[in-house]
Amino acid sequence: MKIKFWGVRGSIASPGPNTVRYGGNTTCIEIRTDNNELIIIDAGTGIFPLSQTLLSEMPLTANVLITHSHWDHIQGLPFFAPNFVAGNLLRLHGAFDPVSGKGIEHVMAVQLQHSYFPVREDKMEARFEYVTLVPEESIQIGSATVTPYLLNHPVINFGYRIDANGKSVFVTGDHEPPLNIHEPGNAAYLEYQAMVDAKTDSILQAMRGVDVLIADCSYTEQEYAIRKGWGHGTFNSSIQYAVGAGAKVLFCTHHEPTRSDDALEAVFQQSLLDNPRPAGSPQCRLAREGETYEF
Tell whether the torsion through CA atoms of 56, 57, 60 and 65 is positive or negative: negative
pLDDT tens digits for range 241-274: 999 999 999 999 999 999 999 999 999 999 999 9
Residue 280: the pLDDT is: 85
pLDDT digits (tens, 9 = 90+) for 187-231: 999 999 999 999 999 999 999 999 999 999 999 999 999 999 999
CATH code at position 221: 3.60.15.10
Residue 109 backbone zone (phi > 0: left; psi -120 to 50: alpha; other: beta) = alpha
pLDDT over 90 (residue 122): no
pLDDT of residue 84: 96
For residue 277, pLDDT over 90 is answered with no
Domain count, the chain: 1
Percent of the chain exceeding pLDDT 90 equals: 95
Q: pTM, whole model, 2 decimals? A: 0.96
Q: How many whole angstroms separate alpha carbon 7 and alpha carbon 162?
A: 19
CA distances from 181 to 184, 193, 229, 241 (A): 10, 9, 10, 21
Cα–Cα distance, 187 to 183 (Å, whole number)? 9
Q: Which amino acid is at 284?
A: C
Residue 284: which domain range? 2-294
Summary mean pLDDT of the chain:
96
